[in-house]
Amino acid sequence: MKIAVDAMGGDYAPAEIIKGIEQARDAYPDIEFLVFGQEDQVKPLIQNDTRITLVPASEVITMEDEPVRAIRRKKQSSIVLAATAVKEGQADAFFSAGNSGAVLAAGLLIVGRIKGIDRPGLTTTLPVLRKPDQSSFVMLDVGANADTKPFNVVQYAVMGQYYAQSVMHVDHPRVGLLNNGTEADKGDKAHQAIYQALSGINDLNFIGNVESRELLNGAADVVVTDGFTGNATLKAIEGTALSMLKLIKGEIMSGGLGGKIGASMLKPVFKNVQQAMDYSQYGGAVLLGLKAPVVKTHGSSKAPTIKNTIGQIHELIQTESAAKLVSYFDQHTDEMAALKESLK
């Protein structure tokens, strides 16, 4: 399998990207990499070019570039060339740590949607804490679309189910709709309509509404929501976790000698907490619903996260997750058309 990599995107690019790619190359003997970037910067960083082909890209899309405009204008950029390689069948997946909007736009506009899927959904994996039989869950859309229609959320449920089966290896993932209460009549009219639509899909294990406070307790394996709410929820989770750590640290520092001695004894515990909350171990965010996997990691990613993300992409390609979605939506065109009509 071949993965097209944007070497120029991310806070530590291209050095950490190349380092991560080399680690992944050593860990996965069946992956070949097409690395797109500025030759003079990238070439000296490659220690061993086994299964790594550098493809020169003279332009770079920066964090400041307006996404769609950049995709249309900077045709020689690493993002556009890498996505084009996937479109043309030279690579099986596209990976970047660069400008999120541009990566999403390249995925949508260059790699392209699966026929029958109206909008792709950005999918992230988050930890489940202290539950013996579940360590993580997926949530989508976490921000690919600002204006989501109810029908899009219904399609996210099917896409999320396939993702959980392929990558998390959950046979019958429990799919929940993020809402402001668990009862069926909760939420606005759109959420009530989505609830009804999801209840009617036969091969979906829809368990009803879930509340945001229960997410990290493992309320569902797949949580679906609109892009605006998903993004706000994701940031609230991240922000709360960071603020809690800050609060604990502040209390220890101002707690005198006793506090510090207590904290030093609890050091391994804090380390475990940090490890449990570190969701970079699950890789990057996947733009689901495209003809091939498009994966974006955090801009601050370093080599270990890059390697983890390549592992996740390996799983996505190996389990033929995109092909499974193509065949589902191909076989359910009438059902989807009826659902779309009913949700208008």
> Footprint of other proteins on this chain (CB under 8 A)?
68-69, 72, 108-109, 113, 119, 145, 147
CB of 334 to other proteins, least distance (A): 12
Tokens of 264: 């030093």
CB of 68 to other proteins, least distance (A): 6
CB of 127 to other proteins, least distance (A): 32
DSSP class of residue 12 equals: T
CB of 288 to other proteins, least distance (A): 16
- Residue-wise burial string across 94-113, b where 16 or more C-beta atoms lie within 10 A, e elsewhere: bbbbbbbbbbbbbbbbbbeb
User: Judged by CB, which is closer to other proteins: 7, or 114?
Assistant: 114
CB of 342 to other proteins, least distance (A): 15
User: Judged by CB, which is closer to other proteins: 21, or 193?
Assistant: 193
User: Judged by CB, which is closer to other proteins: 69, or 271?
Assistant: 69
User: Judged by CB, which is closer to other proteins: 69, or 169?
Assistant: 69
**CA-to-CA separations, 18 to 25, 34, 43, 60, 73, in angstroms, rounded:** 10, 11, 10, 16, 26
Tokens of 309: 């993300």
User: Judged by CB, which is closer to other proteins: 73, or 235?
Assistant: 73
Tokens of 14: 């291209």
SS3 per residue for 117-186 = CCCCEEEEEEECCCCCCCCEEEEECCCCCCCCCHHHHHHHHHHHHHHHHHHCCCCCCCEEEECCCCCCCC
User: Judged by CB, which is closer to other proteins: 69, or 246?
Assistant: 69
Hey, what amino acid is at 51? R
Q: d(Cα 297, Cα 222) in Å, to the nearest integer?
A: 20
CB of 165 to other proteins, least distance (A): 27
How many other CB atoms are there within 10 angstroms of residue 156's CB atom? 36
Q: d(Cα 320, Cα 64) in Å, to the nearest integer?
A: 34
